[in-house]
Amino acid sequence: MSSNRRSFIRNIALGTGALATSIGAEANDYSVPKGPKSFNMCGFAAPKLSTVRVGVVGLGQRGPGAVDRLSYIEGVEIKALCDKYADRVEKAQNILTKKGLPKAKAYSGEEGWKALCESNDIDLVYVTTPWDLHTPISVYAMNHGKHAASEVPAAKTIDECWQLVETSEKTQKHMMMLENCCYDFFELLTLNMARNGVFGELVHAEGAYIHDLTKDYLFDKDGYADMWRLKENMTRNGSLYPTHGLGPIAQCMNINRGDKFDYLISMSSNDFTMGAMANELAAKDDFFKPYANKNYRGNMNTTVVKTNYGKTLMIQHDVSTIRPYSRIHLISGTKGAAQKWPGPEKIALGHGWLKPEELKATQEKYTLPIVKHIGEIAKNVGGHGGMDFIMDWRLIDCLRNGLPLDQDVYDAASWSAVGPLSEASLKKRSSSIDVPDFTRGAWKSNKPHDLTLNGGATTGVRSLVK
């Protein structure tokens, strides 16, 4: 990618430069591939690793849980732990020592992650830091011979999406976004049903991240380090966290593997809660004064994506109003539909939802082997009801068996790209914005990923005694 193109996209995504004079010019710069594709990472299988040596970077909200889950998986050695704050590293060490596992090498400080990536005893760098470090650490890890797995979203800008794609292709190292919701039980069930044509031709799908984070997370002094997530909501406006709802439905619709995102439009409400909360807190506590009298992002964002073959996906984001948790997870086809929220989970193969006994029979028929193999253990280990452990176990099992990963770098890029592209659409009064083809045309021949274990399932689990 040319430096001019990178600069233009960076300015669009961050809102620091002038937008193009016409939406067509802006869209074309996003969507037209620049330069040859060096290597196709879809379906790529790296050499087998009998032992996967892991370094975990970021030990705040998500990192300690990852350390705990990974410690149960046979064939994993947690070799390194890193966080900006040294005390967090020590707390994570306790997770290992309580289980009789060796202490990991400790890294800390602003750039401790660089030394971790440069070390010669790591195969996989597992990134659970604030969002703005996801791409820099993943790129640095791949450039130093490591596979990378990053929390969501994998990138904040279109430029960063391309960096991930180009680096993965160049180094032939995996870059997987840790989209755990793709491994939840109903999502895996509906994916298998979609692959088997039960719903017919999928026409439309909906996903969301609706989760009130205000009191317990965004405005919690002891929540996110340096209030970084509140700052994200204070400085950006759009679908900031799209992938939990988007990832599972994108897989059902074979995005990047037979179809692709074409363009999107995005619209946000005004903010009716966050600014008021910041002002109220600042009146009582000087700590919150830097966050008062600011323009926060709109409470509800709705983004609609159209695919190359004329299908639609609707993604919603709201983390600041009082509503029950929902990721929606709705897929609709010519022969049937499924929906997870509001519960109970529902499947329709006609104009009415299946009755409980019919639903149970359908679930038994289409439950994937991966769930039968590891599902109950995953529930016992934990992590959002077990989906986090299924994700981690599957990642390790693929690396140990030399199998392609379920999510590749093109998924990481295209799902994450919805964030900055929604911001660009909002700045143009919800005009349409083209979505880049990060596969550079390979989506036409790429095959859907395989979740049938495909020769894997050889990785065991250590004792579940906590």
Domain's final residue, options 179, 203, 231: 179
Domain's final residue, options 164, 179, 194: 179
Q: Are residues 162 and 202 in the same domain?
A: no
Beta pairing partners, 339: 330, 346
pLDDT score recorded for residue 34: 54
Q: Are residues 311 and 438 in the same domain?
A: yes
Q: Are residues 160 and 202 in the same domain?
A: no
Q: Are residues 319 and 330 in the same domain?
A: yes
The predicted-structure confidence for 231-249, as pLDDT tens digits, reads as follows 999 999 999 999 999 999 9
pTM score: 0.93
Percent helix, strand, coil in the chain, to 5, is: 40, 15, 40
pLDDT score recorded for residue 30: 54
Number of domains in the chain: 2
pLDDT score recorded for residue 188: 98
Alpha helices in 303-368 (DSSP H): 356-366
In a domain, 98, yes or no: yes
Q: Are residues 131 and 215 in the same domain?
A: no
- Order across the sheet with 105-108: list the strands: 105-108, 76-83, 52-57, 124-127, 147-150, 175-177
Q: Are residues 242 and 298 in the same domain?
A: yes
In a domain, 429, yes or no: yes
Q: Are residues 171 and 198 in the same domain?
A: no
In a domain, 412, yes or no: yes
In a domain, 371, yes or no: yes
The predicted-structure confidence for 441-455, as pLDDT tens digits, reads as follows 999 999 998 888 777
pLDDT score recorded for residue 21: 28
Structure tokens at 21: 């004079």
56/82 Cα distance (integer angstroms): 6
Q: Are residues 83 and 168 in the same domain?
A: yes
CATH at 137? 3.40.50.720
Q: Are residues 127 and 166 in the same domain?
A: yes
Q: Are residues 370 and 294 in the same domain?
A: yes
In a domain, 175, yes or no: yes
pLDDT score recorded for residue 71: 98
Structure tokens at 285: 């506590």
Q: Are residues 164 and 207 in the same domain?
A: no
182/298 Cα distance (integer angstroms): 27
Beta pairing partners, 57: 82, 127
- Determine contact, residues 57/51, Cβ cutoff 8 Å: no
* Residues spanned by the domain of 158: 52-179
Average pLDDT value over all residues in the chain = 92
In a domain, 37, yes or no: no
Q: Are residues 259 and 169 in the same domain?
A: no
pLDDT lower than 70: segments of the chain: 1-36, 464-466
